[in-house]
């Protein structure tokens, strides 16, 4: 049995290295301490490494100073994430907080955890067809509605309310992406705008989004692209890069999501119209609070859980937070007021003048 376990851990290490991901805090050091494992899906979306991970780990340690919080990033590989989860269980994790690479495939991770009595919090993205204990995220259809409504209203202001838009959705393996898409179409369909081209973007890849946008420009022509619905800031960045490369004097209105640093700078510079700000501190702290309660076999605070979400297996008790649309004129009162990004980072170099115009400097 010992040889089998050592072999399993070695295999996991090899898979993790092959997937160019990290698995920090696992191993025998600190064995016996209560352990909550955090499993995040990828690093192309900047928020996971810069926001979610540190805020979650900090809150767990505030609530449970003796706790270990090993962390792994799957590098957008569902098989790697499954191996990381197995390694976490082998190394004594008593709670998993899982943000799935693939919302359907991750049900196998939950099944393995449940088989050994380990509860699971589905974080940010919903694991489908699985007996997860809690779900922590935002109202994702509302996110799509905010993005699409911002785009429709801006094009109306510009007199292009009968124009053509390119729609760049998120990853088809992410259940959240389907919700964003559903919310967006609820606004776009019947708005009077024409969808000239629409794509799903595997792995939320900015490079794939750039190629999709270039394809749309070739199909429609520059003059027929009046706006771009991009489902997050990474795909928005890819769309903006494509338009710059194909000779747009200035990009038309482009949506986004996550308030990534580069996106905030693009908004201030006039290259991206809006983003959706999802205050990650309350999201990460809610997940940490639930994880510690599950570790201690306690009920969470009564005020925390405010809804339920159908994951096709059960109605999962949920913490659903409210997203906020942010444009250039509201960056200061939202993202910056919360200290989400340091002023020195946002206003570095060539962005200082844009920050002054926005009242940030």
Give the model confidence (pLDDT) of 141-173 as tens digits: 999 999 999 999 999 999 999 999 999 999 999
Whether residue 83 contacts residue 12, with contact meaning beta carbons closer than 8 Å, is answered with yes
pLDDT tens-digit map of 34-81: 999 999 999 888 889 989 999 999 999 999 999 999 999 999 999 999
Report the distance separating Cα 339 and Cα 18, nearest Å: 36
Q: What is the pLDDT of residue 140?
A: 92
Residue with tokens 């600190």: 30
pLDDT surpassing 80 at residue 25: no
- Per-residue DSSP letter, 150: H
Helix (H) or strand (E) holding 237: helix 233-245
Q: Is 144 left (phi over 0), alpha (psi -120 to 50) or beta?
A: alpha
Helix (H) or strand (E) holding 6: helix 2-18
Q: What are phi and psi of 240, to 5 degrees?
A: -65, -40
Give the residue-averaged pLDDT of 330-355.
95
Q: What is the pLDDT of residue 44?
A: 83
What is residue 309's three-state secondary structure?
strand
Contacts of 183 (CB under 8 A, 6+ apart): 140, 141, 142, 143, 144, 145, 146, 147, 148
pLDDT surpassing 60 at residue 17: no
Whether residue 285 contacts residue 112, with contact meaning beta carbons closer than 8 Å, is answered with no
Domain boundaries, the chain: 2-138+279-321, 140-277+324-357
Report the distance separating Cα 54 and Cα 291, nearest Å: 15
Pairing between β-strand 71-73 and β-strand 95-98 as defined by DSSP bridges: unpaired
pLDDT tens-digit map of 80-121: 999 999 999 999 999 999 999 999 999 999 999 999 999 999
Q: Do 2-138+279-321 and 140-277+324-357 come out as alike in CATH topology?
A: yes
Q: pTM of the predicted model, to two decimals?
A: 0.79
Whether residue 65 contacts residue 30, with contact meaning beta carbons closer than 8 Å, is answered with no
Confidence of residue 24 (pLDDT cuts 50, 70, 90): low
Q: What is the largest CA-CA distance in the chain?
A: 70
What is residue 104's three-state secondary structure?
coil
CA-wise closest residue to 63 among 320, 298, 302 = 298
- Tokens at 48, concatenated: 């996971």
Confidence of residue 31 (pLDDT cuts 50, 70, 90): low
Q: What is the pLDDT of residue 260?
A: 95
What is residue 170's three-state secondary structure?
coil
Say which CATH superfamily domain 140-277+324-357 falls into. Response regulator (3.40.50.2300)
- Domain 2-138+279-321, CATH 3.40.50.2300 — does that match? yes
pLDDT surpassing 60 at residue 231: yes
Q: What percent of the chain has pLDDT over 90?
A: 86
Q: What is the pLDDT of residue 46?
A: 83
Give the residue-averaged pLDDT of 284-303.
96
- Tokens at 92, concatenated: 């004594």
pLDDT surpassing 50 at residue 286: yes
Across the chain, mean pLDDT equals 91
What is residue 31's three-state secondary structure?
coil
| Orientation of helix 53-63 relative to helix 280-295, angle to 10° | 40
pLDDT surpassing 80 at residue 5: no
- Tokens at 40, concatenated: 């995040």
Report the distance separating Cα 255 and Cα 183, nearest Å: 14
pLDDT surpassing 60 at residue 124: yes
């Amino acid at each position: 049995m010992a040889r089998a376990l050592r072999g399993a851990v070695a295999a996991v290490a090899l898979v993790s290295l092959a997937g160019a991901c990290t698995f920090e805090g696992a191993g025998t050091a600190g064995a016996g301490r209560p352990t909550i494992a955090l499993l995040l899906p990828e690093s192309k979306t900047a928020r996971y490494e810069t926001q979610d991970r540190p805020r979650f780990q900090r809150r767990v340690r505030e609530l449970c100073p003796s706790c270990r919080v090993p962390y792994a990033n799957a590098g957008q590989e569902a098989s790697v994430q499954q191996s990381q989860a197995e390694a976490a269980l082998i190394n004594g994790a008593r709670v998993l907080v899982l943000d799935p690479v693939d919302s359907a495939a991750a049900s196998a991770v939950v099944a393995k955890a449940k088989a050994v009595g380990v509860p699971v919090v589905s974080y940010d993205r919903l694991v489908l067809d699985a007996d997860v204990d809690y779900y922590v995220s935002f109202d994702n259809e509302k996110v799509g509605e905010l993005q699409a409504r911002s785009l429709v209203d801006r094009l109306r202001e510009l007199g292009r309310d009968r124009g053509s838009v390119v729609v760049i959705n998120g990853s088809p393996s992410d259940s959240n992406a389907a919700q964003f898409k559903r919310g967006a179409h609820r606004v776009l369909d019947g708005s009077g705008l024409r969808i000239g081209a629409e794509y799903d973007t595997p792995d939320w890849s900015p490079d794939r989004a750039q190629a999709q946008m270039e394809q749309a420009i070739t199909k429609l022509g520059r003059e027929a692209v009046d706006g771009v619905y991009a489902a997050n800031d990474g795909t928005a960045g890819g769309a903006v890069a494509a338009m710059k490369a194909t000779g747009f004097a200035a990009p038309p209105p482009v949506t986004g999501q996550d308030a990534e640093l580069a996106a905030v700078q693009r908004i201030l510079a006039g290259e991206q119209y809006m983003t959706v700000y999802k205050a990650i501190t309350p999201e990460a702290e809610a997940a940490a609070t639930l994880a510690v309660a599950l570790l201690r076999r306690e009920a969470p605070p009564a005020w925390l859980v405010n809804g339920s979400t159908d994951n096709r297996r059960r109605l999962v008790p949920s913490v659903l937070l409210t997203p906020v649309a942010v444009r250039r004129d509201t960056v200061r009162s939202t993202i910056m007021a919360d200290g989400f990004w340091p002023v020195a980072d946002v206003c570095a170099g060539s962005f200082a003048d844009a920050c002054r115009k926005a009242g940030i400097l």
